[in-house]
Every structure is written in structure tokens, then in C-alpha cells.
Amino acid sequence: MIETPQLRPELLNKYNLNGPRYTSYPTALEFHNRFDQEDFKLAIQDSTNKQLSLYVHVPFCHSMCYYCGCNKIVTRQKNKADRYLDYLEQEIVNRAPLFTHHKVIQLHLGGGTPSFLSAGQFTRLMGILRQHFQFQTQVEMSIEIDPREIELNLLDHLKNLGFNRLSFGLQDTNLIVQEAINRVQDTEFVQALLTRARELNYDSINLDLIYGLPHQTSARFQQTLEKVMLLNPDRISLFSYAHLPTRFAAQRKIRDEWLPSGDEKLSLMLDAMAHFTANGYVAIGMDHFAKPDDELALAQKQQILHRNFQGYTTKGECDLLGLGVSSISSIGKAYAQNTKKLKDYYQAIEDKGQAVEKGVSLSQDDIIRGAVIKALMCNFMLDKDAISKQFSINFDHYFKAELIKLNTFLTDGLITITPKSIMVLAEGRLLIRSIAMAFDAYLNAATTQAFSKVI
């Protein structure tokens, strides 16, 4: 089990800067609109992958959570999803012929709120996907669920459609916190959902939590943590609330003085980490926890964990096709993103049958740095020899400047560097984003401001 780290206050002040979460390298900030459909096709042709992961973005939500920084549309009109599915169908019909040599091994529905869809709309969506793509017999099918607006029996319907993994947004169980974020939900109903999911033999249940929310105190969050343990999920995602009110208008409803201070926020995170590890969960990467027999925990142990736009995954060696407004694809040596506004998405599908707005084709340097950053973010360890061999470089020579940048972390006892490896120590794991930033060739003072604080 990974030891629960502490962080010296002076290091929190020194390294808790703004930085990417590295769900991709280069980050989405480097995507540009010179990347087009021809580049997208070229990436598919050049890709050696034969396995495909599908991501479908459902942008609608029933109401606005004030902390949210996602791309979503708040509406009560269910029929908006019918129109959306009409356009999604056209996109799928046009995209699928490019992937006839791929087999789908993974599907994830994210949002927004995928559970905004009705049972009939889910049936329709799955029918379209299965008609146009080749699904392998065993497919990992996961969906994010908002526990506020669904009926218990939706879980039965999703299971019948082939879904086997559920992720519920819990965030915090305290009513004062819930009211401040405009997300009041009943923990007893969440319990009922998890009970039903277990009766239906879902393979894995994840709960999302957020620390750093308004009015969250140590005592209140402790109660949330205890309730989470009673709910007994297979996985827990523990996200940091990034307060960026100048970027996200809804966050202006959250007053600065309601938020925990930097030190208090760090304590909330450390308390949660200690609580989960004391209860038998293994820390995965920087913000996930899983039971020791969960495949993420096993993959981390074998150092084969991957990271993509949905976070940590065991299925990194496949192409990822994003479908729907704002979705991101990772195909071979390229990233591509669909247009972010729904109106523009509809127009693009009508005009061109697809909605890629921007992207980036990776240079060899991007690929090497991406592999280094991924190893650090996933495994907290970098085998320099393996990178040298894989990319025919001399690691120490290639990353001479970056190794100098790492000296500060070395001096502060956050990492060790040997001729063969870089190891991130327990305290350094909390600052893994800052450490990975040393290998990012694109960062500068202006771009880092676009990212949230690393803790």
C-alpha cells in the first residue's frame, strides 16, 4: 500500500502553482484550427491501433452546479436530446466507415449529464453505435450518472444495454455545502442506487468527490468520508475544486470567503487520502483510489497504467474517438476536438458530416515528452533506459535542461534521480503535476494561468 504523504507547508507555498492535469500532452491549449478533416483521416491511416475506445458527450444538464467548469447546456426540455441524437447519428454514420479495421473495446458516456437521456433515448443511442461500429464481445461500458434526477430502474435498463461500470457524482454529502454549490441530493437515494447496481452485478462503481468546496470544513468533510466508506464504492475519484470565476460564470455565485484556505484545502485532501488508505483503498495516480483487486490498482502495480481524457485507464493502447459536441479524439499521433458550441456543432454536421474544429499532429518530440509525462503521472516512476531504448535517444542528453529544472525537487526531497530512473517520493506525489511540468516544452508564464492550481 502507498504510504499517505504529508506536505511541508513551505513546499505547498513553493510548488502549488497553476498547471495542467496532463490528460494529454500537448494539452488542449496547443490545439489549433489548421488541423482539419484531412489531418484526422491521415492520423487514422497512420495509426497502428486496431482497438477503439468511444467517448460520447451528452451536453445537457437539468440544473447548474455552481462549481462546474464542464461544457454543458442547462435545460429541462428532454426533447432537446432527441435533436442532439439526430445529429450524433449523422456524425456516427460519417465517422464509422473510417474505423472499419477497429474493434470497439471500450465506451464511455460523459457530459454534461449522460443520465439526462431517457430510457428510450439510451436504447436509440446504443442501437446507432452498435449498428455502425464493430463491438468486441466484451466491451467495458461506463457512464457518468447524476443521482438527483433518475429512477432506480434506469440501472436495469442500462445493464440490459450492456453497461457494466457506473460513476456517480456525489461531491459532498453535507447539506450546507450542497446548497452552496446548488447540488442538493439525498445520500439515502445514492445508497439505494448502489444497492441496486450491486444486485445487477455491475463490474465497478465509482464515486466522485470534490474537496475545496464552499463551507467544507474538516469536520463536515469527515462525515462525507465516513458516508462514502459505508457506500463502499470500488473506486473513488477525489477532485480539487478549481475556483476560476473569471472563466466560469456560475462560479461567481460562490463567494471567495466561503472557500477553505490553501492550507485547509490541503488538509481536506490529506484527510481524505489517509481515510481511504486506512480503509484499504490504494491511491492511483494523483486523484483516484481503488480497492486493491481493482484492475486500476493491479495495472499501477504492474506499471502499465495509462491516462487519457477520461483520467486513468487500463486501456491506453487504443485509439479514442470522441463523438458529440466538444468531444476530443486521440488517434494514432494526433489529437482532435469537435467544436464546443452546440449551434456550431449542428451547423458543422449539416455542412460537413463531422465537426472537428481543431487539433494537433504530434511531433516526435511531443511523443517522447508525452511518454515521459505519462509515466510520471501514472506510475510515479520513470525508467530512463526504457525511454532511451524506445525512442533511440540518450535520455540524460536529450533532457539535459529538464534534469536541471528537476534539481529543485531533488533538493527538496521530492524525487530521487539515479542513472537509470527518476522516482517520485511520497511527498512528491502530491505535487506530481508540478514535477511533470518540467518536461513540458510549451509552458510559459501566460499559458500556465489558464490552468488550475496543482492542489
Angle between helix 80-95 and helix 342-352 axes, rounded to 10 deg: 40
What amino acid occupies position 410? L
How big is the chain by its Cα radius of gyration, in Å? 22
Dihedral through CA 116, CA 118, CA 123, CA 126, nearest 10?
A: -10
Stretch that binds ligand SF4, among 57-65, 97-105, 258-266, 390-398 (CB under 6 A): 57-65
Stretch that binds ligand SF4, among 50-58, 66-74, 300-308, 413-421 (CB under 6 A): 66-74
DSSP single-letter state for residue 32: B
Is residue 438 a contact point for ligand SF4 (CB under 6 A)?
no
**How far is Cα 11 from Cα 7, in angstroms, rounded to an integer?**
7
Stretch that binds ligand SF4, among 40-48, 108-116, 208-216, 332-340 (CB under 6 A): 108-116
Q: Which is nearer to ligand SF4, 60 or 133 (CB)?
A: 60
Shortest distance, CB of residue 404 to ligand SF4, whole angstroms?
A: 41
Q: Which is nearer to ligand SF4, 116 or 439 (CB)?
A: 116
Contact 425, 442 (CB under 8 A): no
Q: ω before 9 within 30° of 0 (cis)?
A: no
Partners of 103 in beta bridges: 51
Q: Which is nearer to ligand SF4, 72 or 275 (CB)?
A: 72
Is residue 113 a contact point for ligand SF4 (CB under 6 A)?
yes
Is residue 70 a contact point for ligand SF4 (CB under 6 A)?
yes
Contact 147, 189 (CB under 8 A): yes
Helices (H), 232-363: 262-278, 295-301, 342-352
Is residue 17 a contact point for ligand SF4 (CB under 6 A)?
no
Shortest distance, CB of residue 18 to ligand SF4, whole angstroms?
A: 21
Q: Which is nearer to ligand SF4, 68 or 367 (CB)?
A: 68
Distances (CA, A) of 416 to 233, 298, 407, 409: 34, 24, 10, 9
**How far is Cα 166 from Cα 204, in angstroms, rounded to an integer?**
6
Among candidate residues 268, 270, 272, 198, the one with its CA nearest the CA of residue 231: 198
Is residue 65 a contact point for ligand SF4 (CB under 6 A)?
yes
Shortest distance, CB of residue 146 to ligand SF4, whole angstroms?
A: 5
Of 20, 111, 147, 322, the one binding ligand SF4 (CB under 6 A) is 111
Is residue 369 a contact point for ligand SF4 (CB under 6 A)?
no
Of 89, 140, 146, 357, the one binding ligand SF4 (CB under 6 A) is 146
Stretch that binds ligand SF4, among 48-56, 110-118, 225-233, 285-293 (CB under 6 A): 110-118
Q: Which is nearer to ligand SF4, 64 or 417 (CB)?
A: 64
- Work out whether strand 319-323 and strand 311-313 pair parallel, antiparallel, or are unpaired: unpaired
Is residue 112 a contact point for ligand SF4 (CB under 6 A)?
yes
Is residue 242 a contact point for ligand SF4 (CB under 6 A)?
no
Half-sphere exposure of 177 (CA within 13 A, CB side): 25
Site string for ligand SF4, 164-183 (x = CB under 6 A): -----x--------------
Shortest distance, CB of residue 246 to ligand SF4, whole angstroms?
A: 18
Of 21, 57, 72, 265, the one binding ligand SF4 (CB under 6 A) is 72
Contact 319, 332 (CB under 8 A): yes
Among candidate residues 428, 439, 445, 379, the one with its CA nearest the CA of residue 403: 439
Is residue 68 a contact point for ligand SF4 (CB under 6 A)?
yes
Shortest distance, CB of residue 433 to ligand SF4, whole angstroms?
A: 22
Shortest distance, CB of residue 112 to ligand SF4, whole angstroms?
A: 5
Stretch that binds ligand SF4, among 106-114, 130-138, 259-267, 431-439 (CB under 6 A): 106-114
Distances (CA, A) of 37 to 16, 17, 26, 52, 295: 39, 36, 20, 19, 36
Q: Which is nearer to ligand SF4, 142 or 300 (CB)?
A: 142
Helices (H), 206-286: 218-231, 262-278
Report 244-303 residues binding ligand SF4 (CB under 6 A). none
Angle between helix 187-199 and helix 218-231 axes, rounded to 10 deg: 20
Q: Which is nearer to ligand SF4, 110 or 370 (CB)?
A: 110
- Work out whether strand 334-338 and strand 356-361 pair parallel, antiparallel, or are unpaired: antiparallel
- Work out whether strand 356-361 and strand 415-417 pair parallel, antiparallel, or are unpaired: unpaired
Stretch that binds ligand SF4, among 61-69, 122-130, 381-389, 397-405 (CB under 6 A): 61-69
Is residue 64 a contact point for ligand SF4 (CB under 6 A)?
yes
- Work out whether strand 381-383 and strand 235-240 pair parallel, antiparallel, or are unpaired: unpaired
Residues in contact with ligand SF4 by CB under 6 A are 61, 64-65, 68, 70, 72, 111-113, 146, 169
